[in-house]
Chains A and B, each alone.
Chain A
Amino acid sequence: MGPGMKNTFDGIEPLVHKSQISVPYHWWAGETASRFFVELRDTKKIMGTRCDGCGKTFVPPRKTCPVCFTENTKWVECGPAGTVTSFTVVRKQQEALHHKVPVIFALVLLDGADTALLHRLDEVSPEDVKIGMKVEASFNETKDANMTAIAYFKPAS
């Protein structure tokens, strides 16, 4: 602030320019995610892609292996059961949340996969969630081909 402008804010509220950024945007899901979502919606199968080089199976599926820098060509079914590798219980109602707190987010390593899927847990008390617990997918009946075809994960029966 220059010396001549020193007293600009004496006795007045600083001006605020209020605005909002709202720009509609759509992302093409691409061939790998499209096949994954359609399979999920139509057959309730959770599919991963496997790398021929390192043998890793990626869920959610990726077209390329980030480790080997090669294209993943094989599709394999994983889950629907898996293991919680980490989790958190959100207690404060943050703006990004779509559910009322407490909300439980978890990384679920599906049986047959080598990378964990980020999702939500339900039908379980927050106090009972532990790293290492067995969970399984609970599916939604939906017309949408997207991740919401899995409603959440719940303790394995």
Chain B
Amino acid sequence: MERAAIIGTGMTKIESAKRTETFADMAWEAVNKALDDAGMTIDDVDNVVTTSNDFWDGRTISCMAVGDASGASHKNVSCVEGDGTFGAFYGLSRALSGSYGTTLVTAHSKGSESISSLITNASFDPIYDRWLGMDMVSASAMQANAYMERTGTTSEQLAMVSVKNHGNAVKNPLSQLPMSISVEDVLGSEMISDPLHKLDCSPVSDACCAIIIANESRVPAYSGCPVWIKGAAFCSDAFFLGDRDLSRAKALTEAAAKAFSMAGITNPSKEIQVAEIYDAFTYQELMWLEEMGLCESGTAGSMLEKGEFDIDGRLPVNPSGGLLGGHPVIAAGLIRIVEIVKQLRKEAGEYQVDAKRGLAHGVNGLCGQSHCVWVLDSEG
């Protein structure tokens, strides 16, 4: 594809409840940080894509709540409903379209203001499924059982993901849940929905994140250090859970294969040097790693045990602490992109790893119905 780069990023701290800030306040902070980072003013932004969800925001046309604070007034602004990586994909398309040279992409949500069980219950089909009373946690627990049954992955291995990511979060000043915990702590925490304990689940969080994408011709005009987009792809699976083999993520396999192919990657497990992936629940980190081809199916648990995904391991996974360290829905995937940008620019501070090429991953829908995969490189 034609070349484009991420030239600025900004995000708020992830917190359990931002009690003194509105959606617009969060956007104002994230957008201004991204502009400063890129060495731009709002006048240099050609168009804006905001990412939000009306149900989570408690209003219709939720993008309008952050438009003014994102400098979208008098600009072409469009809204994506879904994870931030999908908003960024749209933003990238616009930057490559020839109509816009730069795109500002934002993503926000505040889980603290509603009741996540009721919000996520509303994502089930209203005619056939919603009445049952399931939510994101029970649906994911069902997927965890299917994945563990197929691969033999154990509860202890799931717990080790929690130990690793909460431990990584200790080094990330923007994370919500830095914790030094043990496998026993995870297995001893409250059982929410078999096989997921409380510490297998990511927390409810508030945050906003922003990035600025520029096509190659505009990159030199600004002082921001570019990180190049080598591949970006998304793919969706069937909506109904019963239509899918829940123990697999076919859409992720396809999205990742396409992103790798765009980036000229033939051996992803060797060529990807750091990954920030969507660990909304512990099992997801292992399952997504396998299904995106970063390790063989059914082997992620044992590789984790060997320390291969540790911050100093062969392939550091979620060195920032991941979603287990803080999970602002919608913003979470965009934050994965920002974390990879930080790593490739050597700006990750205490959780810096040695990497020139990284992968960021976002998910939308129950049990990973849709996946968006980004391959980023420090060199053009």
- A contacts, CB < 8 Å to B: 1, 8-9, 14, 16, 19, 21, 27, 29-30, 33, 58-60, 66, 85-92, 94-99, 103, 105-107, 109, 115-120, 126, 131, 146-148
Nearest Cβ on chain A to B173's Cβ, whole angstroms: 18
Within 8 Å by CB of A29, from B20, B58, B127, lies: B127
Taking a contact as CB atoms under 8 Å apart, the answer to whether B191 and A91 are in contact is yes
**How far is it, in angstroms, between the C-alpha of A151 and the C-alpha of B149 when the chains are bound?**
27
Taking a contact as CB atoms under 8 Å apart, the answer to whether A118 and B25 are in contact is no
Taking a contact as CB atoms under 8 Å apart, the answer to whether A87 and B131 are in contact is no
Nearest Cβ on chain A to B113's Cβ, whole angstroms: 9
Taking a contact as CB atoms under 8 Å apart, the answer to whether B132 and A91 are in contact is no
Query: Which of B141, B195, B239 has the most A CB atoms < 10 Å from its CB?
Result: B141
Nearest Cβ on chain B to A10's Cβ, whole angstroms: 11
B 27-71 binary contact with A (CB < 8 Å = 1; else 0): 001000000000000000000000000000010000000000000
Asked, given contacts A33-B127, A97-B133, A105-B132, whether A115 binds B194 with beta carbons under 8 Å apart, the answer is no
Taking a contact as CB atoms under 8 Å apart, the answer to whether B194 and A91 are in contact is yes
- B residues 85-136 near A (Cβ < 8 Å) are 115, 117-118, 120-121, 126-129, 131-135
| Chain B residues in 8 Å Cβ range of A118 | 128-129, 132, 134, 240-242
**How far is it, in angstroms, between the C-alpha of A92 and the C-alpha of B198 when the chains are bound?**
10
| Chain A residues in 8 Å Cβ range of B190 | 91-92
Excluding A16-B19, A87-B145, A91-B193, 4 further A-B contacts by CB distance (< 8 Å) are: A94-B133, A118-B242, A131-B149, A147-B128
- A-B residue pair count with CB separations less than 8 angstroms: 118
Nearest Cβ on chain A to B195's Cβ, whole angstroms: 8
Question: B80 an interface residue at 8 Å Cβ cutoff?
Answer: no
Asked, given contacts A87-B145, A131-B145, whether A94 binds B137 with beta carbons under 8 Å apart, the answer is yes
Taking a contact as CB atoms under 8 Å apart, the answer to whether A105 and B142 are in contact is yes
Query: Which of A88, A89, A131 has the most B CB atoms < 10 Å from its CB?
Result: A88
Query: Which of A85, A98, A119 has the most B CB atoms < 10 Å from its CB?
Result: A85
Taking a contact as CB atoms under 8 Å apart, the answer to whether B20 and A14 are in contact is yes
| Chain B residues in 8 Å Cβ range of A14 | 19-20
| Chain B residues in 8 Å Cβ range of A85 | 146, 242, 246
